[in-house]
Structure 1
């Protein structure tokens, strides 16, 4: 106390007000460009000096940190949105307070250092100066945004111990509100920068749009239930435009649903069924749109939860509908292609193989049962395309559960090929697998209703005619679907004994 009375208090009375007013005037009215090296160094030294003085005053209890951070005569960075120099120096000031005044140890109402960091690092590249120093200090002091942030945010609502260790006695709703505020404020800041750059810096504007697209995609994927992106980021405007390859952020939405599948609840599963099926219906307006849809599903299926969902709920449902109504093979073609491409990458993805072995086996058994009854051509194409990859999955250490169904498929292909070589019709019956109920009732109901009402096989020209909501009819030709089985099995495909892990699927799909 004696030291404070003899030195700190006189220092405050003598210097603080004069220095404070000078700093505010320079930061708000400085007539020099901060990009110039000498001026850059001057701003840095000025900010550090002010921060170190403030740190001393805070540590000795003369002031609360809040008076320098939020509003009032000592808050020289107040209104920084209207001052380029204040905005640039603000992260440096916060980094210095973190280092010297242990800012995170203070509970400051109406101030969130994590939010300030998010807003700072989401600025355009050419406006970043001292954000690295701010980031380093925040990380050094263990802020929760740096402790595997995405994983932490995802787990925090279901892990009570993690919630308590991170936020104390705060309730789940309070934390959700906090996260929502963090994200909405960050997106609002990015929107402001986009609108500002639109008319001032075309080169930086385009680069910043690309940066923001990635951020919005991540928010849509991981935080849509906490704070969905506003409409500004979904419509094209001079200030911002969504990615041309996925303007509706469909893949990001797919990721969001996939992350919720681990909850084992019906709501996210049912939501994903409608999301997938409505996405397919909308994509049928044009061939290019359908190909884009398949590509997005293929990418989504690289996540093991999504691949398992396709194998257990979507593909079996589509097959059941297709075995009853031939025009339904169009849906099978879409989802089997997506699954095939996922198999192409799965062995090297690092995901546990055992998790999908059971669903794969059941799916193949369902296909085989259907082939014996209906000679499902697309199922044969899928089998031949995926066999090399399925063989490798089946030969994973300790698992060869699909040997039986492999044998029956190969026998069927061999026998059918022999019949065609002799110009005979197929008259073969093999084992029927008892697989019980497969598919998802909701998915089958939606698919069957749509196929029955709006899809028709075009007998004259081939393919399937699909009636869209506006009454127009679009024809989609089968690439691998109900072709003549002889054409599928003869001359177009490699030897069934090929077991190369890297076999390309391009010639099949």
Structure 2
């Protein structure tokens, strides 16, 4: 009938009458079907959804489904906009009484009817279910949701004092509309969107009562990614409306319905005028409405095609930054960030970002102007107050007001910079990042940090530096991606990166480097950072140092022109726009030296290695860093320097990665390794190179000492405990220089005497005797032929000074400390002690010399807890000592002299030395029983064993008889055979001769004391010759001791063999 009417040309009023007539049977059928209920249809859905069911067709008993579907298909074939199934259903179920009532269950019954019948639209003309229906506009029944929504919203407007469940019901209604668009593909939602928009518009876009909302919907924060437009559990009514609006526009765009999009955009642009002045109190509800206004226009901007979008100026002008409240400005900036991120991420930055750039710069500039005028405005307000009111306004109140207002402005400035940073991070390439960068913003922020104290917060500078860091990283990444490619286009792109660096240098160099110099001159807290402001300060200082190094590399590679010449690294070390470090290295304080180390380390980490135009060496910087007070030591600042020095042999393999917790012990070890490396390089170099290196290393060590002097003055003014620790560390460093570098440079006299900043506890070695010993030991190891004689004279003279002063214990302590070093131990066991034993056996009056070396050796070999273990390299030196003892026993036996107390004491000390060697010999014998040197030692000790076998019986008899007479040499040494003469090397022989001659010439044997005469300077004062007291020997006690020593030695010998 409908088709027939459409084919016949009839007046419109006759068509309308015919369509009205046709709706009568349709309405009658709908009424009948509704009286039958929807339960049979629901049961059919339930049956079909069962997984075990195999038949995929409707049973004949499903009369209601057949009837409803037939009715729907009838209206589809009618193909009339005025005559639709949903229109007929609306007429049947939406009665005037229902739409004017408040029966919520009836409203829900209508919604239930709609959603129950919706699946029936999935059947085609043959009765099959079509999974992907083509869109049929006539199948959308928006009039029913529209009228239901309008009624519910009208009830809300009539009485806002609704229960909390009413809000949930409104949320559910809007969610259903969203579901119709998202899941059922209904396109033309303008009517429903208009109803929802009008409802919120009548409320100035405020949220429903009792809805506490403090942020934009989540999808607006992710416009640059893949925003989620499905309804989420925490979405509020207005946020669901925005998602409905967005997905409606996207669906319309997919079907090419640009006219509908244009109408929908125009329909939903608010025309509210808002003004939230900073002088007024602004309520959270008003701010939420302003946020919703921004979110609505932002949603339209994102969802609509570019040619239909609302103008950026609409959302920009919602807030006047110059006069608006802080919270309003923050909302406006967040809206800018949301849309700017979208524009940048979508690749539209070149064509669409310009308005956003102008918007951002305008807000930032207005806030800076406001920040600068705050103090004047507050004082003007104070002046304009009446006399009665102004007398209650104190200066503290004025200051607090100024501080409060400045804090509010700084919050806006900080968020603006943070938003710029977020947008910059969304840029996909260098070109996009360049458009996102606001050099004007950065220059204005840097200008506020050129002179201390600073007006702006550290957090603002931190964010500005993060923006600059992100941009510099983009340039570096862009250049690195084309570094190894040689095509013409890629070379041009690499040049583009260099040009970006040069443009950066020309635009912000003055303000940036002025700020950087000011920051690097600030004092640094070394006791740990407390609070966010101090942490921001520390981060800014560190970041400025790193950024300066990276930009310096960029300026050099980009051939930046400076004062008519190319930019060089040295420009950052001399006065000028680019200067960072104007002081000399050794004049820098320990805290500021950190910045230089980090700067150089950053250069090295970014593969910059041309330091030819600056007056320092990288390895020199490493060594200077090692002697810095530990509280100013930062391993993270030295990573690049560390790797460079490792490659140059100044760091051992096992310490490529230093521990994160620094210690003086580790630093001293690394310093000793570095100075040892210097010695090796000098020894291996040719004469010409050696001269150059010698000058260079001498300069380095002198700088080390000069720097330590300055640092001692700094630490002296601070923590006493830290200063004491540093003093002890410096003593170790000076000892290392004396030991390893005595032939490179001399020790500064400052470190050889006590002072206010540098002092020596009594237990220490102020004259560096131990270090002096070690220096000769190192030279002996290196094969220096003169070193052995020089070390002998040093040790012998040290003893004579101690003898003259009567302080042999000091010499024992120095000798014991020195023998802890392998080279000194080898010299003593292999040369010095054998010579002393030979001298002592020849002249018993020299016993003080043997006493010193015996006590030092026993203290070393005995150990504090466990005996010290000699290794295989020490055995040849042990053999020399044993042979010297054997020779001494033979000489006593052959001379046949009376065994006085001093001579018996010499024998006793020799046996003490032999017994001290047993722990090491027994261990070596167990580990390497066939060692050739051990065989020679055993051969030498067999003679001592023969002596011990016979001497034990004789001495036992003497001790049992308690006779005070001296032992008979013939009987004591009767077991000692006289073999071939023992041969010693030239050093032992020479040392023996020198000591014998010196004892004869300079030693003074008085009735009560032994002393020594030391050479004096011409016209100098006569030296005090105190000496040591002669020992009153008790022969009986000595004999008893010798007997016990022999018994112990022989017992160990039985274990050895």
Give the alignment partner of residue 999 of structure 2, picking from 444, 447, 451: 451
Match of 2:948 in 1: 410
User: Which whole-Å CA distance do the structure 1 matches of 2:914 and 2:843 have between them?
Assistant: 26
User: Which whole-Å CA distance do the structure 2 matches of 1:49 and 1:498 have between them?
Assistant: 73
Q: Cα offset for 1:435?
A: 0.9
Q: Secondary structure of 1:474's partner?
A: coil
Q: Cα offset for 1:445?
A: 4.6
The RMSD of aligned alpha carbons is: 3.4
Task: Give runs of aligned pairs for residues 348-497 of structure 1, distance below 5 A.
Answer: 348-350=869-871, 352-372=873-893, 373=895, 374=897, 375=899, 376-395=903-922, 396=925, 397=928, 398=930, 399-401=934-936, 402=938, 403-411=941-949, 413-418=951-956, 420=958, 421-422=960-961, 423=963, 425-426=967-968, 427-428=970-971, 429=974, 430-433=976-979, 434-436=981-983, 440=988, 442-459=990-1007, 461=1008, 464-466=1010-1012, 470=1022, 472-477=1024-1029, 483-490=1033-1040, 493=1044, 495-496=1047-1048, 497=1050
Q: How many residues align?
A: 485
Match of 2:632 in 1: 127
- Asked whether the equivalents of residues 194 and 240 of structure 1 are also in contact (C-alpha less than 8 Å), the reply is yes
User: Are 2:619 and 1:114 equivalent residues in the alignment?
Assistant: yes
Change (3 A) 1:342 1:124: closer
Match of 1:137 in 2: 640
Match of 1:506 in 2: none
Q: Cα offset for 1:356?
A: 2.0
Q: Cα offset for 1:291?
A: 0.7
Give the alignment partner of residue 544 of structure 2, picking from 31, 46, 59: 46
- Asked whether the equivalents of residues 327 and 451 of structure 1 are also in contact (C-alpha less than 8 Å), the reply is no
- Asked whether the equivalents of residues 831 and 988 of structure 2 are also in contact (C-alpha less than 8 Å), the reply is yes
Match of 1:281 in 2: 800
Change (3 A) 1:471 1:120: closer
Match of 2:776 in 1: 257
Q: Cα offset for 1:276?
A: 0.9
Change (3 A) 1:66 1:22: closer
Q: List runs of 5+ in structure 2 lacking aligned partners.
A: 1-490, 526-533, 561-565, 653-672, 1016-1021
The Cα offsets for residues 167-225 of structure 1, whole Å up to 9 and x where unpaired, read as xx971111122211111111111112223444565454333222211111111111111
Q: Secondary structure of 1:225's partner?
A: coil
- More relative contact order, 1 or 2 (CA 8 Å, 6+ apart): 1
User: Which whole-Å CA distance do the structure 2 matches of 1:64 and 1:489 have between them?
Assistant: 85
User: Which whole-Å CA distance do the structure 2 matches of 1:30 and 1:108 have between them?
Assistant: 22
- Asked whether the equivalents of residues 294 and 335 of structure 1 are also in contact (C-alpha less than 8 Å), the reply is yes
Q: Cα offset for 1:450?
A: 3.6
TM-score (norm 2): 0.42
Match of 2:728 in 1: 210
User: Which whole-Å CA distance do the structure 2 matches of 1:138 and 1:207 have between them?
Assistant: 25
- Asked whether the equivalents of residues 517 and 579 of structure 2 are also in contact (C-alpha less than 8 Å), the reply is no
- Asked whether the equivalents of residues 321 and 448 of structure 1 are also in contact (C-alpha less than 8 Å), the reply is yes
User: Are 2:602 and 1:96 equivalent residues in the alignment?
Assistant: yes
The Cα offsets for residues 102-126 of structure 1, whole Å up to 9 and x where unpaired, read as 2336544533122223223322233
Q: Cα offset for 1:226?
A: 0.7
User: Are 2:735 and 1:231 equivalent residues in the alignment?
Assistant: no
Q: Cα offset for 1:347?
A: 4.9
User: Are 2:678 and 1:153 equivalent residues in the alignment?
Assistant: yes
Q: Secondary structure of 2:771's partner?
A: helix
Q: Cα offset for 1:39?
A: 0.8
The Cα offsets for residues 247-297 of structure 1, whole Å up to 9 and x where unpaired, read as 10101111111111124443111211211111111112444x311211221
Task: Give runs of aligned pairs for residues 64-79 of structure 1, distance below 5 A.
Answer: 66-68=569-571, 70-73=573-576, 74-79=578-583
User: Which whole-Å CA distance do the structure 1 matches of 2:774 and 2:873 have between them?
Assistant: 19
User: Which whole-Å CA distance do the structure 1 matches of 2:1038 and 2:677 have between them?
Assistant: 50
Match of 1:58 in 2: 556
Change (3 A) 1:411 1:60: farther
Q: List runs of 5+ in structure 1 lacking aligned partners.
A: 164-168, 501-509
- Asked whether the equivalents of residues 70 and 110 of structure 1 are also in contact (C-alpha less than 8 Å), the reply is no
Change (3 A) 1:252 1:180: same
User: Which whole-Å CA distance do the structure 1 matches of 2:571 and 2:495 have between them?
Assistant: 22
User: Which whole-Å CA distance do the structure 1 matches of 2:1004 and 2:703 have between them?
Assistant: 50
Match of 1:504 in 2: none
User: Which whole-Å CA distance do the structure 1 matches of 2:769 and 2:523 have between them?
Assistant: 43
Match of 2:503 in 1: 13
- Asked whether the equivalents of residues 322 and 328 of structure 1 are also in contact (C-alpha less than 8 Å), the reply is yes
Change (3 A) 1:354 1:87: closer
Change (3 A) 1:176 1:28: same
- Asked whether the equivalents of residues 392 and 499 of structure 1 are also in contact (C-alpha less than 8 Å), the reply is no
- Asked whether the equivalents of residues 353 and 393 of structure 1 are also in contact (C-alpha less than 8 Å), the reply is no
Q: Secondary structure of 2:1026's partner?
A: strand
Q: Secondary structure of 2:691's partner?
A: helix
Q: Cα offset for 1:411?
A: 3.0
Match of 2:706 in 1: 188
Change (3 A) 1:75 1:389: same
Q: Cα offset for 1:333?
A: 1.8
Change (3 A) 1:27 1:258: same
User: Which whole-Å CA distance do the structure 1 matches of 2:732 and 2:809 have between them?
Assistant: 22
